Amino acid sequence: MAVPTKVILIMGRAGVKGVSRVRCKVTSDFGRDKVLVRNVLGPVRIGDVLMVPEAEMETATLIE
């Protein structure tokens, strides 16, 4: 089940495919006040809403 999250910070971009590392906050009752770090493919801005398929899993380090 996908969980809606809101982008609060863009931490960096990497690669030629447009991968961005973003910090996003869960907006549903599932994990209220939970902040996730995810890798996103494609254009993204602060305030965008992302549907995250797995809200329990964190990403591995991509950008240092």
Q: Which two tokens stand for residue 50?
A: 């992302």
What does the domain layout of the chain look like in residue ranges? 3-52
Q: β-pairing, 19-26 with 3-14?
A: antiparallel
Tell me the helices (H) and strands (E) count for the chain, helix number first: 0, 4
Q: What is the pLDDT of residues 5-45, one digit of tens each?
A: 999 999 998 878 889 999 999 888 766 778 888 889 999 99
Question: Is this prediction's pTM over 0.85?
Answer: no
Q: Are 42 and 52 in contact (CB under 8 A)?
A: no
CATH superfamily of 3-52: Nucleic acid-binding proteins (2.40.50.140)
